[in-house]
Amino acid sequence: MHDRCMWRRGLVRQMMRCCMLHVFPSQDHKQNMAMIKSSERSLIFPSLSPPFLNYQHTLPLSLLDTDRNLHVTFRYLRVYDAAATTTSNDPFHVISSATSRALLHYYPLAGTLRRDNHNRLELFCSSGQGVPFIHATVDFNLRSVNYLDDPDFAFVEQLVPDPGPKEGMEHPCMLQLTMFKCGGFALGAAIHHALCDGLGGSLFFNAVAELARGAVRVTVDPVWEREKLLRPGDPARVDSPLIKEFLGLDKGFLAYEQDIGKVGRECFDVKDEMLERFKKGLFEECGLKFTTFEVLGAYIWRSKVRASGVQAHEKVKFAYSINIRRLVKPPLPAGYWGNGCVPMYVQLSAKDLIEEPLWKTAELIKKSKSNVTDEYVSSFINYQELHFGDGITAGKGVSGFTDWRHLGHSTVDFGWGGPVTVLPLGRNLLGSVEPCFFLPYSTASEGKKEGFKVLVTLAEAALPAFRKDMQVFAESQEQLAVITNHFILHTLTEHYFCYLSSPMMASTLGTSSIAFLPSQYLSSPSSKSSIHSLSLTSGKKFYGGIGVHGIKGRSQFSVASVATEVNSVEQAQKIASKESQRPVYPFAAIVGQDEMKLCLLLNVIDPKIGGVMIMGDRGTGKSTTVRSLVDLLPEIAVVAGDPYNSDPQDPEFMGVEVRERVLKGEQLQVVLSKINMVDLPLGATEDRVCGTIDIEKALTEGVKAFEPGLLAKANRGILYVDEVNLLDDHLVDVLLDSAASGWNTVEREGISISHPARFILIGSGNPEEGELRPQLLDRFGMHAQVGTVRDAELRVKIVEERARFDKNPKEFRDSYKADQEKLQDQISSARSILSSVQIDQDLKVKISKVCAELNVDGLRGDIVTNRAAKALAALKGRDKVSAEDIATVIPNCLRHRLRKDPLESIDSGLLVTEKFYEVFG
């Protein structure tokens, strides 16, 4: 061992070399850039030589790894703000040492890629291999370059290794750490894509970060087994017709060697407010909700194709990756760090892309997600097997898109906090030489907090036209907001409302709806815009952006929809009451989904747990299960006639008027009422949610004329938001504020009214539709994951039960009446004994130890786990919490609080369970 270490040190000394790297002066920053002062390169070896490296061997790659589009080195950069560094905790020393230890587990990163006899890539491994690590310094502060948030790429290129094709094969992983004068640093990585994708790379860097923070071992053991886990079928068959529709065979065409002239890269700012207006505009046009990726991707794709001057008849493709780690059967293990994504495409002719309404393109992107089935994945793998030597390609005209805003790059914390900026430098992606990245702003950048940036790579000749399109996008949205707000404001007041419902206005508009959208986004740029001027009784005219459209037979802004917005709360409550009379599927009849059902029951027993977030595949019964909870809800005492369901015993749950009556000594009339379940529709207005003040009545009569909203009705009850991840941001802010304070405050024209709004927040959604804001996700006490039932017999039973319910709901409900009553009694009994349930001190300490070792932020995880364990013990009729109770609930209480990639393949619940058994023994 001593001889081996001496040999290794000698090799390191031989590999050390010093060189001066010149940095091009920045054109974007006022301060002139100095050159990098010094740079040293060394090899980092595994801290111990694994026994299996004492002889030479090769590791096979999967068919996804050997995809021709992945034969590139991907380069990216993480920037860390000023660290409290000393000689003993110098970032280079800490990270290089941790990298050496991590290479014990990820030793293939130190191997060498080469081609076998069939020209496929394989990995050659032997002793003495290491990862090149460059240590560089610069003589200025990160702040002077705005933390590389809006970088000068000529400078940034010097911060990341840039190996040529030969060196990239010899050293598939290369790192560079550049120290800045302020104490901050940048960590650049160049990793060959055949070894891993972005999620696999994050597994490696998170392992390094864990060890750098002092961990003894990595949390997730890496899994290789590439060829075994993603092997082709026997025989290999291509069953999905989409494969041959999107992919072709051309040995002579190499995607990344296309000559499109000089290429430029630019960052464009996208404001949240601007984007939300744009989404709402498209919703008015087609009635569909779109994610940011869908709508902005569609707009940028069209703008790039138009700016590039693509011939009208040519086919163009929108390409993006979808994670298949949980889609394949069986799912890939948590530690699998190879390529675990397949490309998906949307294909159109350039003419159709430019001339079709934008919402149609966004809809195609939305629908394409559902095309990634197990059949598509297996067909893609089999196609790689059958035609590897035939030159598989997606052809020309591919635009690659990827969203880095939620990929968990910020979780890589070496002990000084996560990175403030993450920046990709790769120019080749998914067969595209002009990729587009959605990136978060630097958390340390000044003046850029709301929104994100888009990094676009494009032929320089096309950039001027593309810039103009992006500018039009921003300016038109601002103009649109002014027009829309002005029109709606006057429509809902005085003579404008009368004019809107007049025969003259009806004859002008016909049966079509009014869509508030700039015509250039929804029709061909070459077609003439239909711009109308609406002459109102005041003599004013409104121009631009207000057009008459008949959309799928739906009225998007008609007299009826205006009337709905100004309906009284009493009318809305009558409608809700009528809706509640519809037969509800019995909770006891729900087949499977035990995790979701348990979380819901525990929150009914103890509302202070804080609600449930239910995420899972479409069609798995999320909404049905939540709404079936209505029949099980127990009765509570409320003050009669009070719109806030005030608790006659608890001042914290009393409205202001009830509290004043109590202080005056009045006798309160108390009635029993079932706990309310209130549905919050995605299209609800803020006034409908929060309530509204009748300004005219307040001014003329001198009283606070308040019409309560949904938050008032939900007090002491349940507020359910289906598709919560699509909820408008301004309503999310309202929910956050109410969930945090327990009170809802309405401010209008100098008048302020507050009322209690303590509710159990239940949300459901499909992760494919987008992720939740972290602030909202943290407000949910528990998190349940639901999946599609795979057992054929259970599926048949579910279908049969649903058919019985649809045929005769009353008879079906009667058949489950005994089971429902048993559940009701169990819940009531659990609520009555909950206060007497005890949990031992040592169990409390172990719960907190699990939370601490998982780096759970804050103390909500500790509190919720204790409450949920007590509620489960009460549900089982016991007065003392056991370790088994904690084991059951702790994954649901902590999985959504872990600081990890929300799109990561690793099941965070499994990480929690593993840590539980480690701590509890």
∠ Cα 707 713 719 (to 5°): 135
- Largest CA-CA distance found in the chain, in angstroms, rounded: 97
Q: How far apart are CA 159 and CA 178, in angstroms?
A: 7
Please, are residues 714 and 759 in contact by the beta-carbon 8 Å criterion? Answer: yes
Q: Give pLDDT, residue 748.
A: 66
Q: At 518, which amino acid appears?
A: P
Q: Using alpha carbons, list the distances in angstroms from residue 216 to 209, 210, 910, 919.
A: 12, 9, 20, 15
Q: Give pLDDT, residue 351.
A: 95
* Local structure of residue 434 (DSSP, 8 states): S
Q: How far apart are CA 70 and CA 430, in angstroms?
A: 8
Q: How far apart are CA 688 and CA 248, in angstroms?
A: 53
Q: Give pLDDT, residue 641.
A: 80
Active site residue 860: yes
Q: Give pLDDT, residue 590.
A: 85
Structure tokens at 470: 């992006």
**Residue labelled with tokens 């309560």:** 708
Q: Give pLDDT, residue 121.
A: 92
Please, are residues 178 and 36 in contact by the beta-carbon 8 Å criterion? Answer: yes
For residue 346, what are the β-bridge partners?
318
H-only helix segments in 65-156: 91-102, 153-156
Q: How far apart are CA 94 and CA 97, in angstroms?
A: 5
- End-to-end CA distance of the chain: give it in Å, rounded: 35
Q: Give pLDDT, residue 42.
A: 93
Closest CA to 613 of 864, 419, 792: 864
Model confidence, pTM? 0.56
Q: Give pLDDT, residue 410.
A: 66
Please, are residues 305 and 234 in contact by the beta-carbon 8 Å criterion? Answer: no
Please, are residues 512 and 530 in contact by the beta-carbon 8 Å criterion? Answer: no
Write the secondary structure of 148-179 as one string of H (helix), E (strand) and C (coil). HCCCCHHHHHHHCCCCCHHHHHHCCEEEEEEE
Please, are residues 617 and 849 in contact by the beta-carbon 8 Å criterion? Answer: no
* Local structure of residue 807 (DSSP, 8 states): H
Tell how far CA 814 is from the center of its chain.
42
Please, are residues 366 and 233 in contact by the beta-carbon 8 Å criterion? Answer: no
Q: Give pLDDT, residue 407.
A: 64
Residue 842: phi and psi, rounded to 5, are: -65, -30
Handedness of CA 672, 675, 680, 681 (dihedral sign): negative
Q: How far apart are CA 348 and CA 364, in angstroms?
A: 10
Residue 235 preceded by cis peptide, ω within 30: yes
Q: Give pLDDT, residue 511.
A: 30
Q: For the chain, which residues score pLDDT lower than 50?
A: 1-34, 478-580, 902-905
Task: Tell me the CB-side half-sphere exposure of residue 665, using CA atoms within 13 A.
Answer: 0
Please, are residues 308 and 32 in contact by the beta-carbon 8 Å criterion? Answer: no
Q: At what angle do helices 860-875 and 883-894 cross, to 10 degrees?
A: 130
DSSP string, 538-557: TS-EE-SSEEEE-BTTB-SS
Of 758, 860, 867, 895, which is the active-site residue?
A: 860
Q: Give pLDDT, residue 695.
A: 58
Q: At 384, which amino acid appears?
A: Q
Q: How far apart are CA 194 and CA 214, in angstroms?
A: 30
H-only helix segments in 637-694: 656-663, 686-690
Q: What is the pLDDT of residues 23-45, one digit of tens each?
A: 333 333 333 344 677 788 999 99
